[in-house]
Amino acid sequence: MKPKRIFAFFLMSLLFLFCCGCSATSSGLSMLNHKKITELTLKGETYWAAYQEHQEVGEAISIVDYQKPLSYVLQYPQTGHTAIDDRIEGIVTEIRNAFDQEFLPGETPAGETDSGKKTEAVLYLGYESYLTDNDQMSLVFFETHETADTLSPHTRIQIFHFDLSSDTEIPAEELMWEDFAKNASAYTQKYFTTTEPYNEGLFGNYATLLAPDAGRFDRFAFTAEGVLFYFDRYDLFPGSYGIVRLTIPYEDMRTKIETPKEEIFIPTEISHKKMVALTYDDGPNPIATNAILDTLEQYGARATFFDLGCLVEKYPDVVKREAALGCEVGSHSYDHKNFSKLTAAEISADLQKTAAAFQKALGKDPAVFRPPYGACDENVKKQISMPIYLWSIDTLDWKSRNAKAVLDVVKSSGDLDGKVILLHGIYTSTAEATAVLVPYLQGQGYELVTVSELIQAKHGETPASGKIYGYSYFQ
Ligand code: NI
């Protein structure tokens, strides 16, 4: 056990000030504060314990700061290198400030009365630190926001690199050598598909998720053994797997490995199983989308959701559940503007805003895109660095708002193998249709997969950025 310092800051003196003349109340309150601090300290000990095994550099500073409505339960290292310690404290302050900004109540708009209700939230921060043979330190921060209404809070991971001999910070890009992401991609795909228990839980679209350019290999720690990668909860596996760590030995990270892409193009890889992809646009919606997810979960089926950034911000738990069930979660723009009527700058701003919403909910950018109204001319296409998925069967569910009418469209569409069906995840009528459609399709021998899985399985193709997959493709 490393030496630890616990600082408890609280507002007791302030409370005494307000409550002078009513000593019974003030001592009652301070008792309450004391209880809260003890409770938070215990929770902090549990939170930090998950990381304490890997604290190789310096001494841990622990802070329990109980305030209303926001509290802070923080642990970070002190290395004894002044410049580095200043930088670490700066990072912790940035994390605190961002948390404050997110949860402190904003200005009450004119004409509205302040409800006085403040969200109580706790910022938990823990860390791991690793030291290499050549005096490099990787500092890994784990950050979790807890509020009364978050069911399954997301843990954000950030990694910083320092050179202890020169007391400087090193940007991650400078540490990556040629084929770094390519080698990591090949190794992780092979490891997770062949090693228990990972091979049992790995999401079907792992090849897309673990592609060298999918953004999962620029966050790493250098350890004495190799390069350590972290995969967020729900990112590659169901939530029960938690955060997944994988250390790749240095020699494997340096070896030239054949890209797994070539294997995918072997025609024998093409599946002859009957497959169909259900897609739901315009959500998430807490009622309709959750009802759709209930059905998918019940039947072990997957679908693709093209969600709007503004609703992802509003209902992150629904989005997390979509991903947790192995569904593909794509972008449908921020708030459903017609991209073919926007300027290049407006499109770029929309994409950035949407990516930020996805980052916050899922810890990653959206990987696939469906344009609002299916509107995607050459100018729009140029700006989209994601595969663009349209559809081949339109159920017109938004028009009929009638479950039976939706079923009739699907049932009268003939052979559905390889088809992509357009639905909208915001209507209860569509949720009702889904409850019948999923067992019906499975009864007909169809496997219900995501659009990316369908492209890979039926066409032997890895979905390409900026390419439109539309009506004629999904025939
Ligand atoms: Ni739409």
Domains in the chain: boundaries = 30-106+118-169, 175-254, 274-469
d(CA 175, CA 287): 46
Distance (angstroms) between ligand 1 centre and the Cα of 394 equals 12
Give me the tens of pLDDT residue by residue for the chain, a chain 475 residues long: 344 444 444 333 333 333 333 344 456 667 778 889 999 999 999 999 999 999 999 999 999 999 888 999 999 999 999 999 999 999 999 999 999 988 886 655 555 554 445 678 999 999 999 999 889 999 999 999 988 766 557 889 999 999 999 999 999 999 999 899 999 999 999 999 999 899 888 887 788 889 998 889 999 999 999 999 999 987 888 778 889 999 999 999 987 655 444 444 444 356 778 999 999 999 999 999 999 999 999 999 999 999 999 999 999 999 999 999 999 999 999 999 999 999 888 998 999 999 999 999 999 999 999 999 988 888 888 889 899 999 999 999 999 999 999 999 999 999 999 999 999 999 999 999 999 999 999 999 999 999 999 999 999 889 999 899 998 899 8
Distance (angstroms) between ligand 1 centre and the Cα of 276 equals 20
What pLDDT shows up at residue 264?
41
What pLDDT shows up at residue 110?
54
Is residue 424 part of the annotated active site? The answer reads: yes
Distance (angstroms) between ligand 1 centre and the Cα of 423 equals 9
Distance (angstroms) between ligand 1 centre and the Cα of 281 equals 5
Distance (angstroms) between ligand 1 centre and the Cα of 388 equals 14
Determine which one of 65, 235, 281, 350 is catalytic.
281
Of 413, 412, 410, nearest to 430 by C-alpha is 410
Burial class (CB within 10 angstroms; exposed 0-12, middle 13-18, buried 19+) of 106:
exposed
User: Hey, what amino acid is at 386?
Assistant: M
Say how many Å lie between the first and final Cα of the chain, rounded: 62
Distance (angstroms) between ligand 1 centre and the Cα of 213 equals 28
Place of tokens 């699907």: 410
What pLDDT shows up at residue 5?
44
Per CATH, the homologous superfamily of domain 274-469 is Glycoside hydrolase/deacetylase (3.20.20.370)
Q: Are 126 and 50 a contacting pair, CB within 8 Å? A: yes
Distance (angstroms) between ligand 1 centre and the Cα of 330 equals 12
What pLDDT shows up at residue 107?
55
* 175-254 and 274-469: identical CATH topology: no
Query: Degrees (nearest 5) of the Cα angle 316, 380, 460?
Result: 75
d(CA 70, CA 96): 10
Q: Are 30 and 66 a contacting pair, CB within 8 Å? A: no
Count other Cβ atoms within 10 Å, centred on residue 73. Answer: 24
d(CA 260, CA 216): 16
Distance (angstroms) between ligand 1 centre and the Cα of 377 equals 16
Residue 353, φ and ψ in degrees, nearest 5: -65, -40
What pLDDT shows up at residue 208?
84
Determine which one of 81, 154, 161, 424 is catalytic.
424
Is residue 135 part of the annotated active site? The answer reads: no
The pTM for the full model equals 0.53
* Nearest-10 Cα torsion for 199, 205, 210, 212: 140
d(CA 40, CA 43): 5
d(CA 164, CA 131): 9
Distance (angstroms) between ligand 1 centre and the Cα of 448 equals 21
d(CA 21, CA 32): 19
d(CA 214, CA 452): 14
User: In CATH, what number does 30-106+118-169 get?
Assistant: 3.30.565.40
What pLDDT shows up at residue 239?
75
Place of tokens 């890997």: 54
Distance (angstroms) between ligand 1 centre and the Cα of 201 equals 31
- The domain defined by 175-254 folds into Actin; Chain A, domain 4 (3.90.640)
